[in-house]
Structure 1
Amino acid sequence: MSTTDTRPPARRTPTGAAQRVVPVIERFLGGALPVRLRMWDGSEAGPFDAPTVHVRTRRALRRLLWQPGELGLAEAYITGDIDLDADLGDGLRAVRRAVRERGLTAPAPTVADRIGAAGLALRLGAVGPRPPVPAARAGLRGALHSKARDRAAISHHYDLSNAFYALLLDETMAYSCGYWTGDGADYGSADAQRDKLELICRKLGLEPGARLLDIGCGWGSLTLYAAERHGVHVTAVTLAAEQAAYVRQQVAERGLDDLVEVLNIDYRDIPGRPGTRGAYDAVSTVEMGEHVGDAEYPAFTAILHDALRPRGRALVQQMSRGANAPGGGAFIESYIAPDMHMRPVGETVSLLEGAGFEVRDVESLREHYVLTVEAWRRTLEERWAEFTALVGEETARVWRLYLVGGALAFEERRMGVDQILSVRPDAVGSAAMPPTRRDWYAPARPGEER
């Protein structure tokens, strides 16, 4: 009997880019890959029940070699070098859940790790010059929080174009957290924004003839609402030229010239205007304080305080964050809001008290922001072709990543947003505040829209 084995040789599993890359990724992750990986050569590796990440080009690896971590991954997504086969929000949520459940903690990479990764990239043909930075990335110059640099930072985000924001936002043009008091099919983003605006007006105790200083007025949602619905005289301040032009146009179209003044100035120039000190019954700043800067915030709160008459009220609506990545992380700081600084809400309260305010109410709107950002994201997806035609594919992908990541950050309590109501007491300590919050949340009065 012959001892020769006549069976066909066993088929060897082909080793593609995925099989070669996964061990290196897992070394940097500190554990098993939480996603399935599909590479440009069609090879796949990783769990079958996880979102699939498509690495479409060798350039994606080159980006990560030149810019490891969050920013490199974000730029690979922005340029389309990396994509997900599932909804981006569902994919990121699944990845974060897997990381938590598996307790993945990335170890500090050694020199040998880096050399090994570079060698693999070389063998895969992914080594080369630094890929071009996406055009949507901010490129600020000058001293941090100088007036010129702050103007450039604000312009980068808010002067993208009024047409873009009109497409993204609802009819109120409010680009801040709404206040969701209903959940029916006939209740939407515009309703939540109007409910937020009414709540702010009630907290500030606005009556016809009152004077309101609206710092960081955006596209004028609060300014226009307070003037039209409450007969308030408003001084609206914005550093963004596109916003100022839009609000002035709305003021003219609505016949509010006798009630609204729009100033395209830096908030630091407010005290230099005649008749500013102690002239206002109320001051509002809705999600503008994040752009002020850490070292500059005490001076900012002093401006709010000094602009008010005794017993005047200030409402600050502001995002909060722990000590980790106060600017929001590398992607946010590079593409969305350069130079932004957030802090825990307790620190903001302390800074307001240090300026002479008595803080009377703090209300968290964190869950409301999940709903607000999700509404914007749905609009982006539903009108994707219009957005890409207007601003291009890369910028649209920046905003998709921004909105998906933002909703997830609020959902997971890595970020918060709060309304902080303060008062400037008079010389004998009187604040003239209502004894309860009842009127702030009361139903709309007969004939009054909410």
Structure 2
Amino acid sequence: MSSSTVKPTSYPAIKNAPLLGLAEGSGSFSNLHLAVLLVVIPYVIKSWVPLVSYGGFKTYLFVAALTGVPITLAYWTLMSTYGGRINQKVQLPGKDIETYITIKDAELKALYHGKEKIPIQVFHDAYFDGKIDVNGDVLDILEQRYDWARFNFTYELFKYVITVFIPEVVVHSQEQDQEQVQGHYDRGDDFYSWFLGPRMIYTSGIIGDPDVEETLEELQDNKLAAVCEKLDLQPEDRYLDIGCGWGTLVTYAAKNYHCDSTGVTLSKNQAAFARERIATNGLSADRARILCHDYREIPTGTTYNKISCLEMAEHVGVRRYSQFLSQMYNLLDDDGLFVFQVAGFRQTWQFEDLIWGLFMNKYVFPGADASCSLGWVVTKLEQAGFEMKNIDVLGVHYSATLFRWYKNWLSNKEAVLAKYGEKWFRTWAYFLASATIASRQGSASVFQITMHKNLNAFHRVKLIKNHHSIHVPLAKEPSLVI
């Protein structure tokens, strides 16, 4: 099947991919094959190596334990390096690597030239350090990445997984969370304003009309309204926003829906900014407030009838995810509503997805290891006692948001360079560009889930009026089937 069966789009709402940007990567991996190797290879070694061949089952277990990690690393390396693309519907032009990037480092240039593709991890690390330049706009060059880059696991990636990623997943202490969040979000409000714009919202917006090029502010206003409407906010409501960022949603809810609004953030900078925003909008402290502490420090017994948590749960960590959701359950009144927005990855992943996720964990969101598939998230929510009312997948909406962040970041290049330097500018340009692609093509996505407690006494019928996705506007009166 030729590339003629794959058609690019031309919607004003997003950064549309060129034809080459629609190429599929490699997802060649089998848990079954790996399991067989982990069982068979130790058996072969025990059978043929004189030193261990006379031992029994305990010796076999010893050999299996000794060889497990090397076998796994070797399998991942081979499959990511030599596994074929999912399909060949988009044909790669096969241009020389010099068409896309300029390698200034002599050692790298000796390794990667002509048709020899560079591992994407090697590329982005060298790009951040100024050893490689891109021949044009970094987003446009990344759109064509499969013609010049390989998405294989490297020594540096394995080293990071073993020495940093896995230990952080296992520990994920409150002190670790506080250090990582404050180190990230207290970098400086100017840093974030250079791409977030005046709304200072660090979560996905929502496209209102794909045929219109809405501004970043319009995308975010669409999201603010959607969350508040899904929560069915009323003046008598007690509303809590966990991970409130710079307080825009808390302020918006209190100002437009007149509910009692509380935001929680670990970041001192965010808390100070949010309090000023609340005051600037004429809201009193008894109507809207910001608490600067960990979500685990919310007093036991405190409850709210409306709760939102937008793209904060990724920082909770896989190990503590169930505990976090149990706390959310206890914070919510029995008749309350909960809007939960979380970033995640597709379950049928490609190697590009995993390598990009490790890049994000290392350079952008340290400690954010709970970006999982939608199925995993829903299972955890149901196990915590929640019932799903509505699920919206916002990946392409996030792509639109990220593209506007990317353009804002580039437009503020001189200010970024003056305060933070070339490496920070390049790192975040790469992040915003690669994330624009990842969320558009499905590697990563955002799930906005509306839910309530799964109790017999919950009046589900009351939710029909604001269950907007089932109220389908008809372009014309349909012809009924008789």
Q: TM-score range by the shorter chain?
A: 0.7 to 0.9
CA drift at 1:263: 1.0
Q: Aligned residue for 2:130? A: 80
Q: How does 1:328-339 map to 2 (within 5 A)?
A: 328-339=356-367
CA drift at 1:357: 0.8
Q: Aligned residue for 1:363? A: 392
Residues matched between the structures, number: 363
CA drift at 1:389: 1.7
Q: Aligned residue for 1:150? A: 177
CA drift at 1:163: 1.1
Matched, 1:230 2:257: yes
User: Which of 179, 188, 193 lines up with 2:215 in the alignment?
Assistant: 188
CA drift at 1:441: 9.6
What is the letter of the counterpart of residue 292 of structure 2? N
Range 388-397 or range 374-383, more displaced: 388-397
8 Å contact kept, 1:311–1:425: no
User: Which of 430, 437, 453 lines up with 1:424 in the alignment?
Assistant: 453
Cα distance in 1 for residues equivalent to 2:270 and 2:191? 12
Matched, 1:295 2:319: yes
CA drift at 1:326: 6.6
Q: Aligned residue for 2:335? A: 311
Matched, 1:54 2:93: no
Q: Deviations over 1:19-50 (max 9, x none)?
A: xxxxxxxxx9669xxxxxxxxxxxxxx83597
8 Å contact kept, 1:293–1:339: yes
What is the letter of the counterpart of residue 311 of structure 2? E
TM-score for both structures, normalised by structure 2: 0.68
What is the letter of the counterpart of residue 387 of structure 2? E
Secondary structure at the aligned position of 1:299 is classed as helix
Q: Deviations over 1:357-402 (max 9, x none)?
A: 1111100111111110000001111221122123221111110010
Cα distance in 2 for residues equivalent to 1:171 and 1:304? 30
Q: Which has the higher helix share?
A: 2
What is the letter of the counterpart of residue 345 of structure 2? R
User: What is the RMSD of the two structures over their aligned residues, measured on CA atoms?
Assistant: 3.3
Q: Aligned residue for 1:244? A: 271
Cα distance in 2 for residues equivalent to 1:434 and 1:87? 47
Residues 197 and 440 of structure 1, relative CA distance in 2, 3 Å threshold: farther
Cα distance in 2 for residues equivalent to 1:441 and 1:158? 38
User: Which of 201, 212, 237 lines up with 1:210 in the alignment?
Assistant: 237
8 Å contact kept, 2:390–2:467: no
Residues 426 and 372 of structure 1, relative CA distance in 2, 3 Å threshold: same
CA drift at 1:153: 1.4
CA drift at 1:206: 0.4
User: Which of 397, 405, 416 lines up with 2:434 in the alignment?
Assistant: 405
Residues 326 and 266 of structure 1, relative CA distance in 2, 3 Å threshold: farther
- Runs of 4 or more, structure 1, over 6 Å off, are 61-64, 140-143, 440-443
Q: Aligned residue for 1:117? A: none
CA drift at 1:224: 0.8
Q: Aligned residue for 2:407? A: 378
Residues 328 and 430 of structure 1, relative CA distance in 2, 3 Å threshold: farther
TM-score for both structures, normalised by structure 1: 0.73
Q: Deviations over 1:84-133 (max 9, x none)?
A: 1122112122122677xxxx786999xxxxxxxxxxxxxxxxxxxxxxxx
Identity of aligned residues (%): 28
8 Å contact kept, 2:169–2:319: no
What is the letter of the counterpart of residue 237 of structure 2? A
Cα distance in 2 for residues equivalent to 1:180 and 1:375? 12
Cα distance in 1 for residues equivalent to 2:106 and 2:173? 40
Which structure is larger by alpha-carbon Rg, 1 or 2?
Answer: 1
Residues 418 and 185 of structure 1, relative CA distance in 2, 3 Å threshold: closer
Cα distance in 2 for residues equivalent to 1:391 and 1:29? 36
8 Å contact kept, 2:232–2:466: no
Residues 142 and 285 of structure 1, relative CA distance in 2, 3 Å threshold: closer
Cα distance in 1 for residues equivalent to 2:471 and 2:257? 16
Q: Aligned residue for 2:306? A: 282
Secondary structure at the aligned position of 2:144 is classed as helix
Q: Deviations over 1:150-175 (max 9, x none)?
A: 11211232222111112211221111
Residues 160 and 432 of structure 1, relative CA distance in 2, 3 Å threshold: farther
Cα distance in 1 for residues equivalent to 2:297 and 2:338? 19
What is the letter of the counterpart of residue 337 of structure 1? F
Q: Aligned residue for 1:434? A: 463
What is the letter of the counterpart of residue 243 of structure 1? Q
Secondary structure at the aligned position of 1:207 is classed as coil
Cα distance in 1 for residues equivalent to 2:110 and 2:170? 32
Cα distance in 2 for residues equivalent to 1:252 and 1:108? 51
CA drift at 1:274: 5.5
CA drift at 1:438: 5.6
Q: Aligned residue for 2:60? A: none
Secondary structure at the aligned position of 2:319 is classed as coil
Matched, 1:268 2:272: no
Secondary structure at the aligned position of 2:325 is classed as helix
Residues 153 and 389 of structure 1, relative CA distance in 2, 3 Å threshold: same
User: Which of 329, 339, 352 lines up with 2:381 in the alignment?
Assistant: 352
What is the letter of the counterpart of residue 341 of structure 2? Q
Q: Deviations over 1:253-290 (max 9, x none)?
A: 223222112111111122xx1641xx211110000011
Cα distance in 2 for residues equivalent to 1:347 and 1:58? 45
Cα distance in 1 for residues equivalent to 2:175 and 2:102? 41
CA drift at 1:61: 6.9
8 Å contact kept, 1:377–1:400: yes
